[in-house]
Structure 1
């Protein structure tokens, strides 16, 4: 496979060009205008940030992408899918409120926000891919309805996947609640019976009679459960959760295959910004200090090459004193060449990119063009 082209620019600005103008020039140079946007719906996949987190991308960057799509005749919207965990983005109403609080209103970004998998995380399209680990991906309906897909990613650390890059943003981020469960485990939730009040909301919403109430406690029959996630959405005490039981490698394999389901058969473009590189995901309701200095902005048609280039650039950066990475290096008494593995020694990211390359999502081989 030929090397993919990845375009890079630093966060250095001049009196004649600010960072927003520089992002526009980066996208133009990378070939954004080769996509036919005329009268096309364009989904811009972004993480709006959990309430309390301040490391997420500023909405100003989303405005650049949305305005560029409109400039080319397209109809952009910002999107993300509801979370599997309990937090400020568990349903579409809370998710939208969080997005607006964090600055992603139509007035700030120039386009509307659509939560990809609907009110309760159950609006999904089944995408057949016949992958090695995923046969049918469950993707948010609004995302699959779009004619063009764009990922706008905050590149940072991640406590399970090693780093949160384009593939994490696409694969896990675009999965419906059932899709997220499938990636994290075998797709079947369980009940914390110590805190269950036996209200029966889960049994009433289930079309397959999987939740059973006995002695005022719910129990989910996994033989009947299809992993739709509706019970998670309606539980008033948030005591139903997925069992995060799969290995890191299995999670990475499934994320790659879900990304393939999102990107196949339509034009896609990918932008990653390496700034405020927090050790953990923006799904946290807090963010620690960055582990490395800001690096720059990258763009490519290939999400695999983009993630590889981002990781390579990050690993060339110095470590910030007092960061989680710095603490781990001092405690372990040595410095590993992989900043993300050193930040979370139980996590790794290379199996994700290797599998993504294997299934044809892209290639890890790239040429980096600095502008």
Structure 2
């Protein structure tokens, strides 16, 4: 079986070739120009970073890809979807404010920023998942599904629930609407907080299944016999009074991420870039970043997101542990830095399930540029 090609460049730079020029050279060598971009809408999925976190990718990197796509006649936009958790990126207005605060705007990136699932995280496309074990119909941000071509730019780092966050995590979880994220993270249905509910009744108005009523204290109550778990009530509540307390097992989460990735990628051209730099132990959704657990490695690119994640994980696991990091303080049960950082996770579940779905291959040929 032919191996997938993954292209790599290290982070050494000279006066004649800086890191941005190296990224441009890398993706061209990896074949990105083989995609027909002319007059096509191109979604570039990136994480804008939760304010307070400084490990997210600098906007300078995204401009390299934006400029290349525009050079090829494409119409690129940077995108991410709203978060399930309460933070600075739970609706489009705050999300864009956070992105601007972190340096992402049309002037620094050369293109517009669009929040994929709209103002309140309810603007979603329902995408069938063939042979899905957990997900039959993924809920993906509408703007992302409206794009003709999909590009992922990934900050490769540790993650407390999935082991690491790379291409598949950025695609599957990142492109899910708020309801989609609830479906991936949780196994139950949402509940309403009587303490936070202000009796505005916005949730009741948006519920299509008459599952929400108000008790004698005029506080929202969700009837789980009627609730279908669509998550629209989460998006409608401006007071964070609705949440889902039943978080699922990490292996199930990883499989759902693979199935959502399939929904995003199936049937259209796609290309993937990962930067293994500032490898923090936790997701960029944290409002802080800890000391990196390993030294910076380099930049990777491929048409195959599965092979890309494998190559990044293999390269990361060859690195020494940084003294003083949280990983250095842990007992090392394996030779895998990400499992040692988060022993309750197994990132290979997502990889293996993605292979089963036909997204890509684990076997790769690493080509250094």
The 1:38/1:316 distance shift into structure 2, 3 A limit, reads same
SS of the equivalent of 2:328 reads helix
Cα deviation, residue 238, structure 1: 1.1
Query: Which moves more between the two structures, 177-186 or 65-74?
Result: 177-186
Q: Which residue of 2 aligns with 1:126?
A: 126
Query: Which moves more between the two structures, 124-133 or 155-164?
Result: 124-133
Cα deviation, residue 231, structure 1: 1.8
Cα deviation, residue 132, structure 1: 1.8
CA contact (8 A) 1:269 1:300 kept: yes
1:147-158 alignment to 2 at 5 Å? Answer: 147-158=148-159
Cα deviation, residue 197, structure 1: 4.1
* CA-to-aligned-CA distance 1:215-272 (integer Å, 9 cap, x gap): 3332211222233322222324312112342111100111001001100110000000
Cα deviation, residue 368, structure 1: 0.5
Q: Which residue of 2 aligns with 1:319?
A: 321
Give the root-mean-square deviation of aligned CA atoms: 1.3
Cα distance in 2 between the residues matched to 1:230 and 1:289: 37
Q: Which residue of 1 aligns with 2:348?
A: 350
Query: Which moves more between the two structures, 128-137 or 148-157?
Result: 128-137
Cα distance in 2 between the residues matched to 1:325 and 1:278: 10
1:134-283 alignment to 2 at 5 Å? Answer: 134-186=135-187, 188-216=189-217, 217-283=219-285
CA contact (8 A) 1:177 1:228 kept: no
SS of the equivalent of 2:329 reads helix
CA contact (8 A) 2:6 2:366 kept: yes
Cα distance in 1 between the residues matched to 2:206 and 2:137: 23
The 1:215/1:199 distance shift into structure 2, 3 A limit, reads farther
Query: Which moves more between the two structures, 263-272 or 240-249?
Result: 240-249
SS of the equivalent of 1:127 reads strand
Cα deviation, residue 129, structure 1: 1.7
Q: Which residue of 2 aligns with 1:300?
A: 302
Q: Which residue of 2 aligns with 1:19?
A: 19
The 1:305/1:292 distance shift into structure 2, 3 A limit, reads same
CA contact (8 A) 2:306 2:351 kept: yes
Cα distance in 2 between the residues matched to 1:229 and 1:134: 15
Q: Which residue of 2 aligns with 1:52?
A: 52
CA contact (8 A) 2:196 2:240 kept: no
SS of the equivalent of 1:44 reads strand
CA contact (8 A) 1:63 1:109 kept: yes
Cα distance in 1 between the residues matched to 2:14 and 2:340: 35
* CA-to-aligned-CA distance 1:263-313 (integer Å, 9 cap, x gap): 011000000000111100000111111111110000000000000110000
Cα deviation, residue 52, structure 1: 1.2
Cα deviation, residue 199, structure 1: 4.0
SS of the equivalent of 1:325 reads coil
Runs (5+) with no aligned partner, structure 2: none
Query: Which moves more between the two structures, 360-369 or 213-222?
Result: 213-222
* TM-score in terms of structure 1 length: 0.96
Are residues 1:61 and 2:47 paired? no
* TM-score in terms of structure 2 length: 0.96
Cα deviation, residue 186, structure 1: 3.4
